[in-house]
Copies of this chain bind each other. A is one copy, B any other.
Amino acid sequence: MIVVIRPHAPANEIDEVIREVEVLGYAPAPIHGENQTVVAAIGDENSLPTLESLLAFPQVERVMRVQKRYRLSSREAHPAGSIVDVDGVAVGGPKFVLMAGPCSVESEKQLLETAFAVKDSGAVILRGGAYKPRTSPYEFQGLGPEGLRLLAKAKKETGLKIVTEVLSEFDVEKVAEVADILQVGARNCQNFQLLIACAKAKKPVLLKRGMSQRIEEWLLASEYLLANGNPKVLLCERGIRTFETYTRNTLDLAAVAIAKRESHLPVIVDPSQGCGRADLVITLCCGAISVGADGLIIEVHPNPAEALSDGQQQVNFKGFADLVRQIEPYLTAAKRK
């Protein structure tokens, strides 16, 4: 770590800091500039205590980390990039992966019709929420266990793999019986206890980026999964919160490029949540492929205008078929599929 001392601090105050650097286990290397001294503290920042606490001294102006905080999820840990096996479907390899399905599981008819439609268009994984985290307690909260039952049925009838969100530590096991991928949503991106519970379930986890989560924090959240024994992690960019009000979120395609560079984990993009508007979804899919995404997760509904949640961002069956056709040339450009 680098400890920046305030300009013109007297020698005894500098010494006080140097001593504390030693107390905390680092080897101090002071560098005296013209106006200001900087103390480089040599030692492993990831096992020693942070020196940020030295800001408690008034003579300390700033403390800067040197090392990256994520290890297991860093690209250095696995330079070739990892491929996650989802019950036979490889995510992160040369084949691009399409996940699609309704925002919420609403009924058997709705789910099965959608499952067959997205399968026909090329999806290999079915999405659908049985447990829905809703901003207001008065909004539709999902069908719960009945939703899981319908997902299991859809899986059996179509052969599609299942990705569905888990909201509660209590439900992890139950959801993992049906799901091939456990989805941890943006609101739970730093619900570390849920992450640990998902890690233990040993199923692949789709980890959505939080609404205002820095890329470093996103990778550190994935580190909770990896450090707890589950290497099967898919990162998912789903839009961040900014000052913009035209769309619900700002899909951060630059973060996809960065996550691919900083980490070896596959990255999936959710353009439906990412912009909250069905009419932008196709264009954003093309962009996602072109910045290096390994797959897409798309909300599809038989009749979006009557969807029980997020109708405005769901495409209908024809919309999804168009989408698959229109992304084709970009997949070719990206040498995917």
Residues of A in contact with B (beta carbons under 8 Å apart):
2, 4, 7, 20, 23-24, 29, 31, 33-36, 38, 40, 42-44, 46-47, 49-50, 52-58, 63-64, 66-67, 69-70, 76, 133-140, 167-170, 187-188, 190-194, 211-212, 214-217, 220, 223-224, 227-228, 240-247, 250-255, 257-258, 261-262, 274-275, 277-280, 283-284, 286-287, 289-292, 304-308, 310-312, 314, 316, 329-330, 332-334
Contact = CB atoms under 8 A, between A and B. Distances in A.
Contacts of A170: 169-170, 193
Given A53-B312, A56-B314, A286-B291, A280 B254 contact: yes
24 contacts: A20-B305, A23-B306, A31-B42, A33-B43, A38-B66, A40-B40, A54-B312, A55-B311, A56-B305, A58-B279, A64-B64, A69-B135, A137-B224, A137-B227, A187-B191, A214-B246, A215-B246, A242-B250, A244-B255, A246-B258, A250-B254, A254-B287, A257-B280, A258-B280
A58 B280 CA distance: 12
When all copies of this chain in the complex are counted, the total is 4
A29 to B, nearest CB: 5
A21 to B, nearest CB: 10
Contact of A217 (B46, B135, B190, B251): B135
A285 to B, nearest CB: 9
Contact of A261 (B2, B134, B168, B280): B280
